[in-house]
């Protein structure tokens, strides 16, 4: 695992962008993408860049259940606004939050099998979740319907008008699914992520801290800003 610490989130996002570009030059065709506030600067850099993504496939980590693709709070809408409207990809996949659970989860696994992810971008929850795999999720989990913990609902309510509007469930790639990516770039910015980052990178590998499983992946690059790195030894 390689850890890179940059002064600011902007510089860290630029570093991530350059890494993606390098992988694309080496032949990467499939990007695994995340939502939330962490990758927003990266997507801004991608949007403003001259890089052509029209030969690339994008596969997102997760989507809230019960929200249709055109719901402004859906991750479909988020990805269109943040990236896809400005930079079309050849194909982009996000779980269908309205689809039948068993069918959709199996279908998403098939999509990933057919389009192995070359570079997966990850954020991390303050409780150490990756994707929406909350603490306690089995390391051998595949795409499934997950219940969001209160801490995640609290963290995400900033995107919604009222707390009761925050969906309680999501379809998320499983931990095993995420680990199939050839390369993983984990981004974390801000003091509020420092404890989860320290536990994930330096603590025991345990299902109680989902991101700690990344210690077992052979090709992980962690890019932090100084605030997120404050508790590292």
Residues forming contacts to ligand F6R in the complex (CB under 6 A) are 34-38, 61-62, 123-125, 129-132
Cβ(179)–Cβ(110) below 8 Å: no
Q: Which residue has 């068993």 as its token pair?
A: 102
CB of 20 to ligand F6R, least distance (A): 16
SS3 letters across 172-229: ECCHHHHHCCCEEEEEECCHHHHHHHHHHHHCCCCCCCHHHHHHHCCCEEEEEECCCC
Q: Which is nearer to ligand F6R, 207 or 233 (CB)?
A: 207
Which residues carry out catalysis?
62, 127, 129, 134
Which of 36/88 has CB closer to ligand F6R? 36
Considering the complex, state which of residue 130 and residue 220 has its C-beta at the smaller distance from ligand F6R. 130
DSSP letter for 149, please. P
Answer whether 127's CB lies under 8 Å from 207's CB: no
Residue nearest ligand F6R (C-beta atom): 123
């Amino acid at each position: 695992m390689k850890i890179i610490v940059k002064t600011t989130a902007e510089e860290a996002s630029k570093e991530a962008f350059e890494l993606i570009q390098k992988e694309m030059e080496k032949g990467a065709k499939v990007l695994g993408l995340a939502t939330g506030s962490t990758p927003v600067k990266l997507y801004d850099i991608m949007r403003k860049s001259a890089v052509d993504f029209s030969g690339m496939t994008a596969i997102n980590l997760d989507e809230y259940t019960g929200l249709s693709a055109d719901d402004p709070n859906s991750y479909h809408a988020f990805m269109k606004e943040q990236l896809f409207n400005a930079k079309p990809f050849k194909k982009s996949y996000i779980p269908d939050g309205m689809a039948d659970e068993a069918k959709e989860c199996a279908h998403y696994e098939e999509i990933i099998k057919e389009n192995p992810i070359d570079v997966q971008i990850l954020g991390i929850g303050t409780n150490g979740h990756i994707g929406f795999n909350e603490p306690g999720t089995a390391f051998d989990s595949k795409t499934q319907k997950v219940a969001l913990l209160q801490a995640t609902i609290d963290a995400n309510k900033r995107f919604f008008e009222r707390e009761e509007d925050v969906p309680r469930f999501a379809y998320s790639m499983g931990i095993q699914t995420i680990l199939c990516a050839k390369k993983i770039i984990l981004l974390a910015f801000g003091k509020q992520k420092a404890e989860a980052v320290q536990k994930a990178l330096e603590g025991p590998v345990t299902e109680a801290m989902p991101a700690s499983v990344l210690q077992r992946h052979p090709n992980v690059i962690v890019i932090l800003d100084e605030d997120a790195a404050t508790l590292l030894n």
